[in-house]
Amino acid sequence: MDERSEQLVARGMAVTLGLLYVVLFVSCIWKYVTTKDITNSTLELILIVMIPGAIAWFARKDESLIIPTMSTTRKEIPTGTDEKSVKKRKKHYFIDAIGLAFIFLLFTIIDSLFIQKQWDHFSVFPEASESINITASLSLEFLLSIIIFYAIAYVLDEWKVKRYNKRLEELGYFDE
């Protein structure tokens, strides 16, 4: 099989896997919403977790996958140790953290409005009105999410960059 055929097969498998993920995700949400019991979605949740695990297990030796990339655009991030490269990576981590925190905030609001049909929030200001407390609670959750997601992205992606640079050094691509 030539390279073009391999790419077509890989693309077809990726589309199939993507459709499977959508079906599993929709099925999981549907079962949870209709029954209010997450244990009814156990099989879907297991598959949602196991499929990427299996892919990661078999792909761990593929060196093209260790190239650090931006999660939003899939472009390679700078892997240098100079200040400009580090600043660009940190900016990328921050933008990703904001995006992920916004998605989680959106899911929290949707969950409160349509699934639980009530607002569970901290009383940040006990003497203030409920709407101010909800806003303050969601804002605090958003800010904490940004901090946590930034820290996770920083640690994991810097580890990937170090691993990538170490591999390049082992191959003799650059000397530091």
Question: pLDDT, tens digit, for every residue of 48-95?
Answer: 889 888 887 877 776 666 666 766 666 777 888 889 989 989 998 999
* pLDDT cut 90: percent of the chain above it: 23
Q: What is the pLDDT at residue 118?
A: 78
Q: What is the pLDDT at residue 140?
A: 92
Q: What is the pLDDT at residue 171?
A: 78
Kindly state the average pLDDT of the residues 110-137: 80
Tens digits of per-residue pLDDT, 128-172? 788 888 888 899 999 999 999 999 999 988 888 888 888 888 877
pLDDT of residue 46 exceeding 60? yes
132: its two tokens: 């101010």
Question: The whole model's pTM is what?
Answer: 0.65
Kindly state the average pLDDT of the residues 87-107: 92
Distance of alpha carbon 111 from alpha carbon 59, whole angstroms: 35
Distance of alpha carbon 122 from alpha carbon 145, whole angstroms: 16
Q: What is the pLDDT at residue 90?
A: 92
